[in-house]
Amino acid sequence: MTDSHENNAFKKEKGIHTDFIEKMTYGDYLQLDSLLSSQKRLSNHHDEMLFIIIHQVSELWLKLIIHETQAAIDAINEDDLKSSSKMLSRVSKIQTQIIQAWDVLSTLTPAEYMKFRDKLGNASGFQSYQYRLVEFVLGYKTPFILEIYKKDPEVHALLEEAYHKPGLYDVAIQALARNGFEIDNDILNRDFSETYTENDSVENAWLEVYKNVDDNWELYQLAEKLVDVEDWFQQWRFRHMKTVERIIGHKIGTGGSSGVGYLKKVLDHYFFPELWGIRTKI
């Protein structure tokens, strides 16, 4: 009965295209042949497909986060704070999707994972260059990370460029200065290859923004979008850590890291420290 109704509805849609011999299809546009043939299991275990797809989907979302964040950086540099806020709102929504992916992966039990874990060799999510790019554009720079990517000169060059460029928070601080707030010169002209650390002049500027919201509405909105991004990023890190703990406990990671121990350490890092510190002082 359902098939009959669907066929009748289809026949009534006179404008639907069915001849694609010389036209681009949905599958052509999305290159689905390539995309859907990229899940190549190295074992015969059923659940390896889940493991591969979860990580591939996460990499696609990371690609979009990088795309949106870099565009937001460009917009802030052009003092187009409204556009940057829209882009960062999208980043936060994407982050919710990546967080929910851990819920799907957590259906993989320790016994199931151990059936194919040895096939991964030393491959690990720790080596995701897109994840490192996200950290770099947010301002968290770790020099030893670059060593991992010497195998691929193109990826290494991409990371090297992002490593030396100002991150999202750097350009937000520069926007504060352009709007008349006093920011220390050594912050505005700092070495962007170093991870940002807290500064009193930056804290005072943000505090002024929050105390005079009406006069600084766009900067205030930008600040709140930055807090959203960091909040969701920390939730993503936490769910990652708990999922790993649930599946492998405290085993050493396939990439050689301490696994859960390493993931717990990075939970304490803040990208935008002053935006959290001023909440106590407002």
94 contacts 68 by C-beta, under 8 angstroms: yes
* CB contact at 8 A, 99 and 232: yes
Please state the residue numbers annotated as binding site for substrate.
51-55, 113, 117, 254
The residue whose two tokens read 């669907």 is: 6
- Cα gap 145→276, rounded to integer Å: 27
Residue 76 exposure: Cα atoms within 13 Å on the Cβ side? 30
Positive or negative: CA dihedral 235, 239, 244, 249 = positive
Numbered residues of the known binding site? 51-55, 113, 117, 240, 254
Q: Give the residue numbers of the binding site for heme.
A: 240
What is the C-alpha separation between 188 and 170, in angstroms, rounded?
A: 8
What is the number of H-type helices and E-type strands within the chain? Answer: 14, 0
- Comparing CA positions, the residue from 115, 104, 126, 121 lying closest to residue 54 is 104
Identify the CA nearest to 202 among candidates 186, 191, 224.
Answer: 186
